[in-house]
Amino acid sequence: MSRFKLNRRKFLTVGAAGAAGAALTGCDVFDPMLRSGHPVRDFMIGANGLTEAVQRTLMGRDSMAKEFSESEIRQGMRPNGSTNPNTMEYMFLSQGNFSLYHLEVDGLVESPMRFNLEELRNMPSRTQITRHDCVEGWSCIAKWTGVPLGHILEQVQPQANANYAVFHCFDVMGVGLSGEIPYYESIDMIDAYHPQTILAYGMNDAVLPVENGAPLRLRVERQLGYKMAKYVYRIELVESFSHLHRGNGSYWADHGYEWYAGI
């Protein structure tokens, strides 16, 4: 313990001697320019566009996320974020084992459609063992089974100007001035048609549990966990997401995180 304190003191002493000294005594001097809406913060988050462009170039359309073997599943999947939505509609559906649940797919499509869980389970399925990387820094390996999003898109036939798939979710994250703030997320058509992008209804060889997003959650394996919306009830194809909620295309993007979560 004493060693730690000594290091800290030494660090401070040297820091004070150095150019950074003034700032080290109170890092809150940078706080105002980092609040949302400040031009400095807006400029810095622009680096995310560069990251997206470079990563898209390096990985191409169809490069795959690593898939693991059965033996590498060493624990249950850690639930995070919402783990039990408490809206009336969700609780009603959950009590009936989601037998009355429907996934709606609409927006800029030739034929809007609805699918119940039985229909989704009878579609071609894909099972993948992947590592879930949370923006917080932890990772967890689990097995996911679901229907490729590309298969559903082939049936509803997106129109030429459909640029994004928006996922509307049951879980409510809070209450704002304009009412309840639901979780939502969006991906572009490159990720929407990626072979590993699935709507999962199964996890680790069992039915997807409520805490992990039952009855249906998204897997987008080349991005961080917050892109993988849980409790999905509607997929809307849009040209732009600027009219949705705060206009950043995702609940977390509306709260300061990057829309592109490849890093």
Binding site for other proteins (CB under 8 A): 1, 4-5, 8, 10-11, 14, 17-20, 23-28, 30-31, 34, 41, 44-45, 47-48, 50-51, 55, 58-60, 63-66, 68, 72, 74-76, 78, 131, 133-141, 221-224, 252, 255-258, 261-263
Name residue 180's beta-bridge partners.
175
* Rounded least distance, CB 232 to other proteins, Å: 20
Nearest Cα to Cα of residue 219 among 77, 116, 56: 77
> What's the rounded Cα separation, in Å, for the pair 116 and 119?
5
Is 219 in contact with 143 (CB distance < 8 Å)? Answer: no
Closest to other proteins by CB, 63 vs 84, is: 63
Closest to other proteins by CB, 134 vs 173, is: 134
To which residue do tokens 């037998």 refer? 99
Nearest Cα to Cα of residue 222 among 143, 130, 136: 130
> What's the rounded Cα separation, in Å, for the pair 152 and 204?
23
Closest to other proteins by CB, 170 vs 260, is: 260
> What's the rounded Cα separation, in Å, for the pair 30 and 33?
6
> What's the rounded Cα separation, in Å, for the pair 102 and 117?
7
* Rounded least distance, CB 110 to other proteins, Å: 31
Closest to other proteins by CB, 106 vs 133, is: 133
* Rounded least distance, CB 167 to other proteins, Å: 18
Query: DSSP alpha helices (H): ranges in 157-208?
Result: 189-192
> What's the rounded Cα separation, in Å, for the pair 68 and 255?
33
* Rounded least distance, CB 134 to other proteins, Å: 7
* Rounded least distance, CB 38 to other proteins, Å: 10
Closest to other proteins by CB, 3 vs 111, is: 3
Closest to other proteins by CB, 126 vs 255, is: 255
Rounded to a whole number, what is the distance in angstroms from the first to the last CA of the chain?
35
CB neighbours of residue 227 within 10 Å: 25
> What's the rounded Cα separation, in Å, for the pair 248 and 239?
13
Half-sphere exposure at residue 148, Cβ-oriented, CA atoms within 13 angstroms: 14
* Rounded least distance, CB 55 to other proteins, Å: 4
Closest to other proteins by CB, 3 vs 243, is: 3
* Rounded least distance, CB 206 to other proteins, Å: 16
